[in-house]
């Protein structure tokens, strides 16, 4: 009862609008299988009431996995009996605040593992719908695509047939607060929002995009991240792209 939760990078990320409190985007997500968290269900020594999550690094009380459990319990209340006897163990390798989607991937892997182990027979589409309530990146991980074009607030996901580019990740010792980066973008850069931005990039392989685009051109959040975390520039070499809201930089190899 174990499942890997892989990381992701954004080859490009353009903000195309604002919908209430959410930012609409157009982006290419690429799964990174070489970096992953591991989630497992393990028998408790003795049954206990309530949901138990054991992690090798500190997690906030309200985290993506506990939220996934809460939402899945509404769909399948019978899972409570399983989790009286089983604890969730999470081994973290994906750094937080790095733009790699670790928390979202953990939630997606939890949903899939529950679905399999508890024989819930929930469709992938319904798991993605549940995942969307947790975070915008979760549906991408639920579908498990190697590469996909993602639009809207993360709910429009179209698989992109390509061989994923080989990249090297560089994660500096900087924790980028996603909410703060998006807020800074809205306050300082929202006048540059273009609803049609990057439409032509949707059909271009990721390898080609990385060869033709400048990093700050590729990611609308890059200038916002630099405004809050100017020290990022100390780690960025020529040709390094920023994933999501940062802080991970990646380059083609």
> Which active-site residues does the annotation give?
8, 137
Asked whether the beta carbons of 13 and 6 are under 8 A apart, the reply is no
Asked whether the beta carbons of 29 and 68 are under 8 A apart, the reply is no
The 3-state DSSP class for residue 130 equals helix
Dist CA 25 CA 223 (whole Å): 16
Dist CA 20 CA 152 (whole Å): 12
Alpha-carbon Rg for the chain, nearest whole angstrom, is: 18
User: In the structure encoding, which two tokens stand for residue 1, read together?
Assistant: 């009862």
Of 100, 130, 116, residue with least CA distance to 33: 100
């Amino acid at each position: 009862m174990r499942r890997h939760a892989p990381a992701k990078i954004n080859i490009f990320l353009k903000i195309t609008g604002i919908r209430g409190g959410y930012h609409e985007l157009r982006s290419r997500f690429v799964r990174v299988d070489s970096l992953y968290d591991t989630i497992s269900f393990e028998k408790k020594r003795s049954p206990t009431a309530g949901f138990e999550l054991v992690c090798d690094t500190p997690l906030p009380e309200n985290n993506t996995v506990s939220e996934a459990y809460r939402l899945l319990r509404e769909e399948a209340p019978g899972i409570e009996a399983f989790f009286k006897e089983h604890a969730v163990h999470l081994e973290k390798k994906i750094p937080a605040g790095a733009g790699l989607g670790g928390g979202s991937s953990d939630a997606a892997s939890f949903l899939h593992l529950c679905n399999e182990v508890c024989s819930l027979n929930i469709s992938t589409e319904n798991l993605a719908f549940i995942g969307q309530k947790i975070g915008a990146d979760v549906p991408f991980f639920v579908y498990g695509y190697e590469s996909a074009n993602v639009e809207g607030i993360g709910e429009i996901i179209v698989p992109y047939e390509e061989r994923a580019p080989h990249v090297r990740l560089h994660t500096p010792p900087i924790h980028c607060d996603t909410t703060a980066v998006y807020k800074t973008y809205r306050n300082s850069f929202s006048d540059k929002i273009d609803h049609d931005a990057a439409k032509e990039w949707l059909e271009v392989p990721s390898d080609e995009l990385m060869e033709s685009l400048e990093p700050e051109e590729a990611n609308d959040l890059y200038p916002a991240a630099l405004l809050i975390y100017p020290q990022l520039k100390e780690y960025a070499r020529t040709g390094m792209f920023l994933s999501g809201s940062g802080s991970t930089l990646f380059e083609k190899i």
